[in-house]
Every structure is written in C-alpha cells, then in structure tokens.
Amino acid sequence: MSTAHPFEHLTPSFIQDAIESLGYLCDGRVFGLNSYENRVYQVGIDDSEPLIAKFYRPARWSREQILEEHQFCFELLEQELPVVAPLKRDGVSLFDYEGFMFALFPRKGGHAPELDNMDNLFTLGRMLGRIHTIGASRPFIHRPAIDIASYGHQSAQLISEQFIPAELKTSYDTLTADLLKLMENHWQLCEPINHIRVHGDCHIGNMLWRDNAPHFVDFDDARMAPAIQDIWMLLSGERESQQAQLLEIIEGYREFCDFNPAQLRLTETLRTLRIMNYAAWVARRWEDPAFPHNFPWFNTVRYWSEHILELREQLFALQEPSLQLYN
C-alpha cells in the first residue's frame, strides 16, 4: 500500500489555513509556481498585494540551516543589496504549520537578465562582489559546503548502485572514477581555497532584472564555497566568449571584493560536480510524484547514455587550460 508524499497535503485550503494562522486573510487565490525541491505558491491576500509562500521540503534542511539562509538574506538587505528576503512577522521569518516549515516573501516582478549584454555582466559582477564581501565576513555554521565528497563521490555512488542500467554501469563507473580523481587534483592545486557564504545556485532563473539591476532570489542552496561558484554559471558560449564575459564580470566584482585568479581552475570542476549532483538530486526525489511527472525522460537508457556523454565532455574540459584574467 503506497504512502502519500508529504507534499500531497498541500491543498489550497491547507496553504491558506497556514497563512491565515499568522493573521493574514486570504482571498482564495492560490497559484503554484515553478519549484520542485520545495513547494512555492502565490497566494492572494485581501486588500493587499499577493504573497509568495514557500513550504520547505521536510527533512531536507534543519531549522538552523534554514534560519542561516534567512539571516544571510537579512544581512544583504541591511546593506541595501537587491535581494528578495523573507518577511518577518513579530520578528520571526520561519513558521510552522502541521508538520511543515514555511516562509513568506513579497511578490517581485522582473525578467531574466540578458547575459549577452556586457553592461549587464559588469553590473552582475559588482553585485556579486558586494554579496561576497558580506558572505566572507563570517561563515555558515550549520549549512554544508560544496565539495567533491558530497556532490561527486556520493552522487556517483547513488547512481551506480541504484539507477544506472547494467549495460552502462562499467562505462559509468570507470568514467566517474577518472573524473573524481582529476577533480581532486584540481582542488588540491588550488589549496588553500577560501570558502565563503555564496548564493550557490546563481543561474538566470534566480535573478529578476528590473530597475536596471538584478534582484537575487531563492537562496535555498546557499552554502560555503569558493567565490567562483557564483561566477562560472554566468558564462556561456565558446571559450572566446566566456573569456570576454569573465573579464567584464571580474572588473565589476573587484570594485567591491578581491578575487583570487587561481580559483578559475575550479570552473570545470564545479560545473562537473553540478552535473553529477543534478542527476543524483532527481534520483533522490524520484519518490516525489512531481518528479516522474515533470522529468519523464529521467531514468531511461537514453537519458543515462546522454549523461555519460556529457560527463565525457567534461573529462576533456577538465584537461583544457582554464580561463585567465589579463591585467
């Protein structure tokens, strides 16, 4: 007999009851937003602007880890940085309702930034420099770091033992062993690596461009990591294009924060770890009904064949010279 997934309890009436437990009056409008790890909704409020309600996935983060995310956002907001931080109610930002932890956010509009615009990249660099200056001021105590052990070794082990098709297992195991060894070498060459608090998932879907500036949202994946983690995801295209983009970003970044060029060696390592961790993330969530529904292509022979091909491309990328900064 199947057991209902916890998120199946999040009916419109449940969501409104949770929000009204804080003293708000909902108007009956509840719209699900694009989110898989947690569940996020736009909820209409009587005689006021709608709110964004984020219900955290049970057992993913501890209360202390979520509150560290919130505190980081509040620190950034206090320095007038454009982040969408949780709302407080009587000084509290994390609430409980019938087994769920949830937070409320103001609704903010905007569009994804145009990363082929060099002026936009310069602005993003300046903003990241300011964020990282604050991020470097003190560490996370409860939140983990981005590292090869959790993103690489644990991901490969899960996929190899439970998901990879038998006919692809040897190829996958051999390839990931080579990748992990090469990434560990890259990591050691960059030691000591200064880990700071970073956004952690700094892609264009987590930035709203409005008023000629980016507004950073969704710090759910904030971790301790090298600064380059929030920079490499802004780079795209061929090497020549990425080189030009990087120079523009770092020029803006260095107006507020130092950047160690040695971290550029970690770009392809971090990209590879993200690819491996993404596959393992979907695998770990496969019992959530939303995942088979929204990722129907996952866990097929074709998917794993393409995944192996992508990792082989990363093996070559890891052996190429890293991007450079020219002073």
Q: Which residues are catalytic?
A: 201, 218
Q: Could you tell me which residues are annotated as the binding site for Mg(2+)?
A: 206, 218
Contact 198, 229 (CB under 8 A): yes
Structure tokens, 105? 């956010």
Taking the C-alpha atoms of residue 152 and residue 154, their distance in angstroms, rounded to an integer, is 6
The amino acid occupying position 209 is W
For 66, the token pair is 């979520």
Look up residue 20 and give its amino acid. Answer: E
Cα first-last separation, the chain:
65
> Which region, left, alpha or beta, applies to residue 184 given φ > 0 means left and ψ of -120 to 50 means alpha?
alpha
Q: Which two tokens stand for residue 259?
A: 């950047």
Q: Which residues are annotated as a binding site?
A: 206, 218
Cα–Cα distance, 23 to 126 (Å, whole number):
39
Distance (Å, whole) CA 219 – CA 83: 9
Q: Are residues 86 and 104 in contact, defined by beta-carbon separation less than 8 angstroms?
A: yes
Q: What is the dihedral of CA 145, 147, 150, 152, to 10 degrees?
A: 160
CA 162 to the chain's CA centroid: 25
